[in-house]
Structure 1
Amino acid sequence: MPASPSSMPPRPLEGLRVIVGVCAGIAAYKAVHVVRALTELGADVRVVPTKNSLEFVGAATWEALSHNPVRTSVFQDVDSVAHVRLGQEADAILVVPATADFMASVRMGRADDLLSASLLVTRAPVILAPAMHTEMWEHPATRDNVDVLRSRGVHVIEPASGRLTGADTGVGRLPEPEAIVQFTQSVLAAGERERDLEGSHIVITAGGTSEALDPVRVLTNRSSGKQGAALARAACVRGARVTLVLAGSNIVPPAGVEVVRSVSAADLASAVRELEGKADALIMAAAVSDFTPETSGSKIKKREGESGLTLHLTETEDILRGLTERRVPGRRPRAVCGFAAETGDEHSSALAHAKRKAQAKGADLLAFNDVSKNGFGSDHNELTFLGSSGEILGAASGSKDEVSHAMLDHVAALLTREHG
């Protein structure tokens, strides 16, 4: 029995056309997973491999996964002027893997095959996911090519560090397919926005902290870290250097983002203190434990005849409030932003609680979401943006990538105001 429309998984890229270029690198096999994921998200994917890349993954694989024919040469499908039409009709072009040779060719504006010709024609966002040996990535010629491409608005994802071809290890590894797909989603969600955070350092916290009860058990919360990760991706797309302080989450970290791991509220507070003076903006999206228990050095045992366990909890540091109290005019951070995940109760609505929190915290921007309506772990969110006095500055709803860009619009405005 076919699934009803309401039970079908969301397809956020429905109706969007994405060209996936594939270059001749050993990491081409990972592009298979990228193409599959994009099609499952609803994208109309056209794979355009370079001729030599077919030595790594054949045309039959790309046609089976994309459900579209595969072409490599400008002399194929000539009657439809494919070398122009593909680039003109694309909503985005993603090249994975992008080799050093290919990036040099793109920098020079060459158009000697279907993929490079499509890049020269398109006005859609272009995303390059490089993969190569460390020495090639760090060569001055490659670094110069990357700088020039970025100056033209091309999104060049920073490669990961790890095992390369053979026994080599270092920077140059292709990011995980999931991270590349999510980065592409964020680029598409950005729309016509420019790289307005270029040159800024944005520190973002994400996930949920855990407080040790004993060597086995922890007290934690339901935060998935998805919203913070989406914010990190969006900031990276918009040109920022991003540090993500990630607590207790199993999500794949965004590509091109520096990750600092933390566990407890105290860990996260320490990481933020270390970074705050280096950041232009701090966005506190992590769900931080409000209380921490006294920790037992050994596993707490059940005791015969006792019906329960009494825990003594103490309040943790209010990291966001501390940030605003420590700020010095004219010094970093220039913008401090927080989140308020609230529910209503018998005394007040969720929004009223959030407004009081905004006034108490003193942050430049507070993003409020009603978690009774938009639960943890969802791929969608609904945010209301509040100022330091609790005034409503705006609202956004949609995918977490979309609402991230809406929030960063406010952050960019704050940074522009402070800079001015």
Structure 2
Amino acid sequence: MATPAAAAASSRARRLSCIFYSSSSRAQPTTPKPALTPKAPAGEEAKPNSDRKRRKPLSKILKNLFRERDPDKLVSEFVAASTASARFRDRHRVYEVVVSRLASFGRRDAVTAIIDAQKPFLEASTEGFAARLVRLYGRASMPSHAAATFRDLPPQHKSIMTFNALLAAYVDAREFDALATAFQEIPASHPTVVPSVYSYNILISALCQKPDLSAAIDVIALMEKCGLTPDKVSFNTLLNGFINNGRFNDAEKVWDMMKEWDLEPDAKSYNAKLRGLVAEGRIEDAAAVIERMEKDGPKPDSVSYNELIRGYCKEGRLDEAKKVYDDLVKNECAPNKGTFHTLVPLLVEAGELDRAINCCHETFSRKCRVDCSVLQGVVTALVVASRVEEATRIIELGRKNYYPRKGLMMPHIGEDNNVEVETDWKDSMLYEEGSEEEKESGNA
């Protein structure tokens, strides 16, 4: 006789089948066969006091890993450090950076190697450590490996946390049909894994990537049938899904649904509305929304102002964009990467170099990391304007803030007064990892 939990899981699976009736054939995960499995150092974990004096400080190990560019050495050093130190295994960010780097090199075998080296610690590890390993495969766009890792987890780790990590891995890899299958099959075969509101929000996010968004709306009704109450994240995800697909009228219906559920829209809800208004060219309406938020709430955040800045810049209304920037700072919001990426190039184009310089200095003082191309655009314009000293100062500050030499440099002026900048954009993309090096080392 089926248990109540099993019966509920079976019923939930049937209802999900109705939502996904139009899905294409499901992707079936296969058990991965790692091509690279470096041997972990033996005995160090069992003898925590042995050779302690000869071990490198954790901060130095982290720094070396962040700087290592050879994939094979990276794997070897990572495996040695992770198998020798429980403190290292608590460092979430270093796992993400290393896996992302190996994936960018196309070394999936290396990704498998370092994750496989962590599996001997699963039995005695926390649930969070198990979820991290599953999710890392998603970061590397290896969803079948994520599924196999979940399937092989110790029984105590087959939980809602690791289930959600698998769903997120499918989203990272954009395997939305496989996610739908997992959502139906895993809770049905593991009655203790009962999807939470967070699980359903991941499902809504996945369905918003499909052409037919009606299935995403249907999840709200499914949650209600399962005794769950959708939250603001559920509706904000729907709002962004419809607006990103240009379905502004449907987004307004979602807005009305929030009211039916007695949910007050937050800043993220309004940000979705603002993005829709800007996309439709309704800049004055977007400005009115910001004004209403400033007066009645919720308080606009940096993203709110960024949307309006983007709208004004799109129409070439630089004076209005600058005023919104000033309002952003006045209202104690921090300008972020999106702010400077939108505004600085337009300032350079308009010849407002003093304001562009101020923005560059603002990025440094706020530790806001923008792409090298944004700073390089200002530097190049200053050199053309014979303001070499100011250009040099920006480059010096860039060096102090770990921007790469090949991504930010003094341009060369040819005989025809054309400016050329030699850049290594692959190198310029790595500076964010360098900043993480400093963060991790400082926390060690």
Q: State the TM-score, normalized to the length of structure 2.
A: 0.31
Structure with the bigger percentage of strand: 1
Structure with the bigger percentage of helix: 2
Larger Rg: 2
